[in-house]
Amino acid sequence: MTERLNGPQGPSSDDGPPPGPSRSSDAEGSAVAGPGATPPESGTASTPQAAPEVATAGAAAPTAVATRRGRLGPSPMIAWIFLLPAALLLGVWVIYPIGYSLYRSLFDASGQSFVGLANYGTIFTDPGTLTTIRNNLIWVVVAPILVTTLGLIFAVLTERIRWATAFKLIVFMPMAVSLMAAGVIFRLVYEQDPDKGVANAILTTVRDTFSPSQGYPDARPREGDTVRAADGGVVATGQPALIPLVGIKAADMPPNAQPAKPGGSGTVWFDFTPGGGGRNGQIDGTEKGLPGMTVEAVQNGRVVATATTAEDGTFSFEGVNGPYEVRLPRSNFEAPFNGLSWLGPTLITPAIIGAFVWVWAGFAMVLIAAGLSAIPRDALEAARIDGATEWQVFRKITVPLLSPVLLVVFVTMIINTLKVFDLVFIIAPPSVQPNANVIALEMWRVSFGGGNNQGLGSALAIFLLVLVLPFMIMNIRRFRREQS
């Protein structure tokens, strides 16, 4: 079934183009004579095994074969009747527009005056369109490699798990989802607020797990205190050191903070009594410690010990002799990590490529897995018995044998990245869209989305066509090769 669908390599390979034209033309000459009996040679040769037979028959009695074929095939006129609806649609909706776009691209926005190649000049000089070209370049370089590599890794790894079918279904599922819906899905994933967007939720959780530093962005010593601000941090003297800070917003106050206590090598606390009444620089009953502060002991400009404040704000240095300065380094006063701004101008293209990979990795995986299952197991086993490591087997046998499939996936992805539109349009917020813009989107924007310049739009469409042209020629060549 699958083999059948993969037709060209199989049965059809007998009626290849090189002999084709001559064959069909000599059939044309006489086919009119007698429609409706034995079909032409493509019938006899429709199984690979039959091919040699035909060849010998042809060599032995060429004229006989030719006349037999010509006499009995259906009339070519009938072919045109079968082809007519398709030809009409393709002619009007696909082929004629290529010519029209080419023509239209030589005129200005209004379509009134001929401007020659000026629209093409605009593509390569306007900063807006140059950005789209740059972005498409990033897409073409990054996305196909990512998708193909991931597809290969997934395909190889699925062979090692029992729930491969379930895994494949999950990874393949985005293929059924519209790019529009995928865009909405990833707009939600990439929300800046870690309480909404799952990407930043994961990032902040991971980061907080590994470096649980507590940020107090607006904390500062009170003016005129013995404790002073220095180099973005805070410096204090005295042992034990009392370090009162003010200016902390309620929202930044960690929930686990306990009433401050003196003790250890010193205390860092929020010197503010809600409702008033506290004394400056003194730990009053209800004032809270500032937990999670990094505290350094500095002697002669060198950090000799570090500590972290406890829930009541106390800290203690181990093994420090002699006088030292206590320093709260700048890192304590930076805003806590809130995730990346995925939808900001810098990360927007990588973020959308991430969504693209999510959509297409399943496609790559399924194709590559099919190629993988066609590799003869004996070759792999033989290599393993000869002492090859799994990595060597993978690199020296699996990948080379898979290279035709990998190429197909890779080329398909290049074409897809050149045409990428929906994901960029949906995921990039309007304000960031100029930074994320790609050719296909710019073409729509310029012609229909408010730009109102169909001359430039046509030029962009032709530009896009020229970009996929090499792959078109490649497809045709490969098809001809497989047919002959």
Partner 1 sequence: MTATTVDRPAPRHAGEIKRGVVGRLVDALGSGVVQVVMVLIGLFWLVPTLGLLVVSLRDEAVNNAEGWWTVFTKPAQLTIENYSNLLATGFTASFWNTVFITVPTTVLVIGIAAMAAYAFAWIDFPGRDTLFLIVVGLLIVPIQIALIPIAALYGGLGIFGTIPGVVLFHVAFGLPFAIFLLRNFFVGIPASLLEAARMDGATEWKIFSTVVFPLGKPAIASLGIFQFLWVWNDMLIALVFANTESQPMTKALQSEMRQFGTNVDILAPGAFISVIIPLILFFAFQRYFVQGMMAGSVK
Please, which of residues 87-146 interact with partner 1 by CB under 8 A? 87, 89-90, 92-98, 100-101, 104
CB of 123 to partner 1, least distance (A): 13
Span 363-392, contacts to partner 1 by CB under 8 A: 363, 366-367, 370, 381, 384-385, 387
Give me the phi and psi of 312, to 5 degrees please: -95, 10
How far is it, in rounded angstroms, from Cα 476 to Cα 118? Answer: 32
For partner 1, the binding residue among 132, 136, 147, 186 (CB under 8 A) is: 186
Nearest residue (CB) to partner 1, 242 versus 439: 439
For partner 1, the binding residue among 151, 174, 292, 313 (CB under 8 A) is: 174
Residue 32 vs residues 64, 66, 72: alpha-carbon distances, Å: 17, 14, 9
3-state secondary structure labels for all residues of 261-296 = CCCECEEEEECCCCCCCCCCCCCCCCCEECCCCEEE
Taking alpha carbons only, the member of 358, 328, 362 closest to residue 219 is: 328
Verify binding: residue 429, partner 1, rule CB under 8 A.
yes
For partner 1, the binding residue among 130, 141, 175, 399 (CB under 8 A) is: 175
Residue 281 vs residues 227, 247, 369, 383: alpha-carbon distances, Å: 9, 14, 69, 76
For partner 1, the binding residue among 196, 228, 249, 330 (CB under 8 A) is: 196
Nearest residue (CB) to partner 1, 44 versus 338: 44
Residue 84 vs residues 21, 24, 89: alpha-carbon distances, Å: 21, 19, 9
Contact 375, 152 (CB under 8 A): no
Nearest residue (CB) to partner 1, 207 versus 419: 419
Which window, 13-21, 119-127, 132-140, 217-225, contacts partner 1 (CB under 8 A)?
13-21
Nearest residue (CB) to partner 1, 225 versus 442: 442
Nearest residue (CB) to partner 1, 218 versus 390: 390
Which window, 52-60, 141-149, 167-175, 284-292, contacts partner 1 (CB under 8 A)?
167-175
Give the pair of three-digit tokens for residue 10.
């199989």
How far is it, in rounded angstroms, from Cα 357 to Cα 256? Answer: 41
Nearest residue (CB) to partner 1, 77 versus 303: 77
CB of 253 to partner 1, least distance (A): 20
Q: Count the Cβ atoms, other than its own, within 10 Å of residue 14.
A: 20
The DSSP 8-state label assigned to residue 220 in this structure reads B
Verify binding: residue 152, partner 1, rule CB under 8 A.
no
Beta bridge partners of 326: 236, 297
Verify binding: residue 78, partner 1, rule CB under 8 A.
yes
CB of 334 to partner 1, least distance (A): 24
Nearest residue (CB) to partner 1, 326 versus 459: 459
How far is it, in rounded angstroms, from Cα 443 to Cα 348? Answer: 20
Verify binding: residue 480, partner 1, rule CB under 8 A.
yes
